[in-house]
Structure 1
Amino acid sequence: MSLPSATSYDLVVVGSGPTGSTYVREVYDHHPTARILLLDAGPRLSDPPGGHVKNIPDPGERARAQRASEGPGPAGRPGTWLLGAPDLPAAALSTNVGGMGAHWTGACPRPGGGERIGFVPAAEMDAHLTRAEQLLCVDSHAFDQAPFADEVRGRLSALLDAGRPVHRRVAPMPLAVTGRPDGAHVWSGTDVVLGPAARDERVEIADRCLCPRVVLDAGTATGVMVRDLVTGEERAITARAVVVAADALRTPQLLHASGIRPPALGRYLNDQPQIVHAARLPDDVVTAHRAVTGRTRDEDGAIVPQSGVSWVPYTDAHPFHGQVMQLDASPVPLADDTAVEPGAIVGLGWFCAKDVTADDRVEFDDTTADAYGMPAMRVHHRYTERDLTAIEQAKKAVAEAAAAVGVPLDDSPVLLPAGSSLHYQGTTRMGPADDGTSVCDGHSRVWNTRGLWVAGNNVIPTATACNPTLTSVALAVRGARSLVDHLRSTAGHGGAARQTAADTAETSRTDTDQTAAP
């Protein structure tokens, strides 16, 4: 891909993952004349762009797509490259059109209890979560027939459901999957979020194009600089609005490189501690419920039916999120599946809500460049005493869950290296007021920088334990509604972003329509 075909757009979105694609889709749907540019530093892996690599039927082609996403660093989990941060040793990133949305496991639970954002009205947030589920094609019942799934959930329910509200009891995991005419399912990538926008001439998707800087004029974002990573050529692009959705590490990096440096930028880094354990269903259960299926993913790209995924929701009384996976759904092989009955090996992952502090942060070095020529990152991250206590409690909880499921396969649960969750959050967090503890307001507009929005898990301000994608997509829906209003209010003002006096006041005030601080 060469540089963008034009030099002026209504909207430029930097980063093509689930949230960047949500801004594109929402503006596309609600502003029928807007011209949109979607930028990504990585390559296009599929047609339509943003498709999930696990849907590629041929194993060799799938592996090539994953390798193409692994950027400039040493390879991490397939499709990712390791950041190389000693304090967060498993931290990994993807660089490709679709971002991590081309590689993720599709888990889309709704947040509950203390995971919710107190200053966003509950009814409004629920409506945005519903829209996010529509965009991602979330289905809680796609694998109801997975072998042993009912048995697994029944055993976990007997242990954990007492005292829980109905909507926070053990359940099938809501998954972002798309049904096919033959009844099989494939994983939702960001191609699903983009929908018709991916093929409309109003939307241009430029791959292998890096944004090294947001262009500012008197406190207003007026566009971006774009660098073709193949030729090195650069071009200035003007826009009436800019969204930076480059993930929780590269979004604050780009703002820093652009001279946008509010006190909270890069701070409140939240990586969820992840504890894993595994169990095998008892032999008598396997014998009584044996149900082997013939489909394999490698045959035609479909998800195998034994991909049961169960959910133990976070509650304030049980402050962990449980993701219970059977074989194919797990990003890490759980067992030699030729030696056991499909679905009989169960992996249990318990995620903790991190003790969020300003000291957990990513800093940027203006004197040292990374592989893309951007300010080099340095991550500061540690477990507090509260974290260490929560981790021990989670180990005990997941051990009890494994024993309830069947026969534990390990002596004790294991805490994965920091960064393993890939759920990094908080580094451009939202807040109800510009008080130095947040980067953007409740509509994801960067404080005191007009025409600029941020998106991604990085805007989530709360200590979550659940998978954050659904929440961050819901917040992108909320932000996109304010962005559409901004585009309508600035119509006729040319390519450079301009705002009315009312809109200017909106980005610097407290969120007076909200009711509580975090």
Structure 2
Amino acid sequence: ITYFDQTAPPRGLPGASVSAAVGGQGVLWTNNCPRPTPAERGELLSDDEWEHYLGAAERYLGVTDDTFSGSVRQQRILERLGPVLAAAGRDLRGQPMAGRLVAPDTVHYVATDDILAGVGVRIETADVRHVLFHRGRASGVRLADGPTVPASAVVVAAGAFDTPILLHRSGIRHPALGCRLTYHPVLYSQLVLDPDVCGGAGDVPPRLWIPPAPGAPWNTMLLRDTNPVPPSAPDVDLPAHRLLEIQTFCPVDIHPDNTMTIADDGAVAFDVPLREADRARMAAVLADQHELAGALGRFRAGLEPQWMELGFAHVMGTCRMGAADDGTCVTDEFGRVWGTENLYLATVGVIPDPLAVNPTLTAAALAIRSVDRLLSGA
């Protein structure tokens, strides 16, 4: 993993990084795949299109929301928190995820091999440096060691950062490239559950989801996940079945001055200041985690609520899609780059509206729609 600038101030997104590992940023993915709420879907797709393509993405990724339904902790958390949240107009349900239990404490996470199994797709490993063009058409790509690969169409699926970097390096300098981006400040904490909420030592871990709601427009997960922060005394050694993480994604409003600037030498700089509405939302998220913790147990020492480095999670909108080439978007509503006939983008970077939920399923749905458009020849 390579960070752009870990010494940057908060508005410079010190947590922003790229990965060159096999699987890309997928190596950091815990396979949570909720649908965007209706309020997050924008107007580029009709309701029927959203339903069709989100369903297709769920089938490709093997998404289910009952993987952890056998968890005693999950059932007891639902019983304790569900009515409280419902009274506030909020929901609590199983977290949709791409994976399945293969043992009580082991999840098989769906990944590339599962998706491509049996389809005969040939995967080549190469470092693509430029997209090549001829008379407004993408004609292929140039690799780092010199050769070119011809193509009848090119789809760039290099993530929210490397996609605009490759476009910039290839001579595409659209004014919307890197502008109006958004991301998720992530508030993380770990709880010590009350004894009567816990199951036994062999209990299946819980994975629950509190979707965004009008009065609480953020995405919250209650689960067992990776723990990036060491605990403190007296809570250093605790049984795993007593523990629960709370992770909340807090959306940042889109603004024309939220920028990812790419220099001719490839250097990248971010400028995404938190504005008054963003800070108010983050304060509400912090208060919400305290309320949730109080209903279930207490915070583990050393793992009280803390914000991950800004830019760590889910940067979106770096190469937005839109209905018109008006300077606010890089592609049309099907992901085709303006001014080209056959260059398409498939990345969370094309998502044009702020999302509170994990963006994976939304990006996959839009990518499937883009491929349908490309293959139709329209």
Amino acid at match of 1:171: R
Partner of 1:28: none
Query: Partner residue of 1:468?
Result: 359
Q: Hey, what does 1:71 align to over in structure 2?
A: none
Q: Does 1:269 align with 2:181?
A: yes
Alpha-carbon distance in structure 2 between the residues aligned to 1:343 and 1:381: 39
Q: Which amino acid aligns with 1:94?
A: S
Task: State the secondary structure of the residue aligned to 1:250.
Answer: helix
CA distance in 2 between counterparts of 1:453 and 1:264 reads 16
SS in 1 for 2:246: strand
Structure 1 position 226 matched with structure 2 position 151:
no
Distance 1:259 1:196, change over 3 A: same
Letter of the structure 2 residue corresponding to residue 173 of structure 1? Q
TM-score normalised per structure 2: 0.91
1:237 corresponds in structure 2 to 149
Structure 2 distance, partners of 1:234, 1:261, is: 23
Q: TM-score of the superposition, structure 1-length normalised? A: 0.68
C-alpha distance in 2 between matches for 1:240 and 1:406: 58
**Cα offset, 1:450, TM superposition:** 0.9
Tell me the CA shift for residue 204 of structure 1: 2.6
The correspondence for 2:19, drawn from 69, 94, 97, is: 94
**Residue pair 2:105, 2:205 contacting (<8 A) in 1 also:** no
Output the CA distance in 1 between the equivalents of 2:24 and 2:205: 23
Task: Measure, in 2, the Cα distance between the counterparts of 1:307 and 1:182.
Answer: 8
Distance 1:279 1:466 in 2: 22
Query: Following superposition of structure 1 onto structure 2, how do residues 268-287 of structure 1 map, counting pairs within 5 Å?
Result: 268-286=180-198
The C-alpha deviation readout for 1:128-151, integer Å capped at 9, x for no partner, is 111111111112111112241112
Q: CA deviation at 1:306?
A: 3.3
AA in 1 matched with 2:73: F
Q: Which runs of 5+ in 2 are unaligned?
A: none
Deviation, structure 1 residue 162:
2.5
Q: Distance in 1 between matches of 2:201 and 2:244?
A: 16
SS of the aligned residue for 2:147 comes to strand
* Residue of structure 1 equivalent to 2:42: 117
**Counterparts of 1:477 and 1:206, CA distance in 2:** 21
Inter-partner Cα distance in structure 2 for 1:386 and 1:414: 19
Aligned to 2:247: 349
Give, in angstroms, the shift of residue 181 of structure 1: 10
The residue that corresponds to 1:377 in the other structure is 268
Specify the SS of the correspondent of 2:222: strand
Residue number in structure 2 paired with 1:388: 279
Q: Which amino acid aligns with 2:153?
A: A
Question: What residue number does 1:314 align with?
Answer: 212
* 2:242 is the alignment partner of 1:330: no
1:292 aligns with 201
CA offsets 1:349-379 (integer angstroms, 9 cap, x no match)? 111111111211211111x3xxxxxx22122
SS at structure 1 position matched to 2:160: coil
Distance of 2:279 and 2:106 partners within structure 1: 42
Q: What is the percentage of aligned positions where both structures have the same residue?
A: 32
Matched, 1:442 2:333: yes
Q: Give the deviation of 1:119 after TM superposition.
A: 2.2
Q: Which residue of the other structure, out of 292, 311, 316, is the alignment partner of 1:401? A: 292
Amino acid in structure 1 at the alignment position of 2:62:
C
Q: Which runs of 5+ in 1 are unaligned?
A: 1-79, 228-232, 294-304, 369-374, 487-502, 504-518
Structure 1: distance between partners of 2:197 and 2:361? 34
* Structure 2 residue aligned with 1:364: 262
Give the 3-state SS of the residue equivalent to 2:255 in structure 1: coil
Task: Give the distance between the partners of 2:361 and 2:262, measured in 1 at CA.
Answer: 29
1:243–1:455 Cα contact (<8 Å) kept: yes
Deviation at 1:98, TM superposition (A): 2.2
After superposition, the Cα gap between the structure-2 partners of 1:191 and 1:420, relative to the gap in structure 1 and judged at 3 Å, is: same
**CA distance, structure 2, for counterparts of residue 348 and residue 361 of structure 1:** 30
Deviations 1:208-267 (A, max 9, x none): x1111100112111111112xxxxx31111111100111111100111111112111111
Alignment correspondent of 1:416: 308
Amino acid of the structure 2 residue aligned with 1:212 = R
SS across alignment from 2:241? coil
**Aligned mates of 1:325, 1:449 — CA distance in 2:** 44
The reply to whether residue 137 of structure 1 matches residue 35 of structure 2 is: no
Cα distance in 2, alignment partners of residues 437 and 429 from structure 1: 8
Matched-pair contact (CA < 8 Å) for 1:267–1:359: yes
State how 1:54-203 maps to structure 2 within 5 Å. 80-84=1-5, 86=8, 87-162=12-87, 164=89, 169-178=91-100, 180=102, 185-197=107-119, 200=120, 203=121
Partners of 1:159 and 1:401 within 8 A in 2: no
Counterpart code for 2:216: H
Residue-by-residue CA offset, 1:46-90 (whole Å, 9 max, x unaligned): xxxxxxxxxxxxxxxxxxxxxxxxxxxxxxxxxx33222511111
The question of whether the paired residues in 2 share the 8 Å contact of 1:144 and 1:172 is answered with: yes
Alignment: residue pair count: 371
3-state SS of paired residue (1:153): helix
Q: Secondary structure at the match of 1:196?
A: coil
* Alpha-carbon distance, 1:153 to partner: 2.6
Task: Name the SS of the counterpart of 2:118 in structure 1.
Answer: helix
